[in-house]
Amino acid sequence: MPNVTFVLVSVGIALSLITAISLIIASLGRLNTDQIAISYNTISKKLGRTTQAAGLHLNTPGFRFIIFPSVFTSMEFDDISCLNHDGVSINLDATLQFQADPNNLYDIVVQFKDFEGYKRILYATGRAAVHDTCA
């Protein structure tokens, strides 16, 4: 009988360790040196307010990072044609560099959802600015 108790206790301890290790692994996330992020808990649907920089981060199980680059990103506008106020046709190639402000990353995520949404709005705004400059 003592042998059965030992086996049951050993199995219980092993299962507890496996569960604990699985939860820790599910709670870890890594960001590269050129990334910043806000954590989003996919289970409770809550968005974190703190911006996290490069490194290994421990969060709640079931989270994911909403990642933005921490470095400047270039956006190119090729072959933009416009008319100036004299009616002269102008062809432009322009490059815009931008970077998400880490202090405002929560507000950016609330407004634009992710980096792709942010980039899409910046592209439209940049293109409109180039057209306004041309005229």
Residue range 76-95, pLDDT digits in tens: 988 888 888 888 888 888 89
Summarize the confidence of residues 9-13 as an average pLDDT.
88
Residue type, 133: T
Reply yes or no on whether the pLDDT at 134 is more than 70: yes
Which residues have a Cβ under 8 Å from the Cβ of 16 and sit 6 or more positions away?
none
Q: Give pTM, 2 decimals.
A: 0.78
> Where does the pLDDT of residue 1 fall: very low under 50, low under 70, confident under 90, or very high at 90 and above?
low
Task: Give dist(CA 119, CA 98) in Å, integer.
Answer: 9
Summarize the confidence of residues 48-59 as an average pLDDT.
91
Task: Give the pLDDT confidence score for residue 119 in this predicted structure.
Answer: 95
- Helix residue ranges per DSSP H, 1-135: 2-27, 105-112, 115-134
Domain ranges of the chain: 2-69, 73-134
Pairing of strands 46-47, 55-58: unpaired
Task: Give dist(CA 47, CA 26) in Å, integer.
Answer: 17
> Where does the pLDDT of residue 110 fall: very low under 50, low under 70, confident under 90, or very high at 90 and above?
very high
85 within 8 A of 47, measured Cβ to Cβ: no
> Where does the pLDDT of residue 66 fall: very low under 50, low under 70, confident under 90, or very high at 90 and above?
very high
Summarize the confidence of residues 12-20 as an average pLDDT.
90
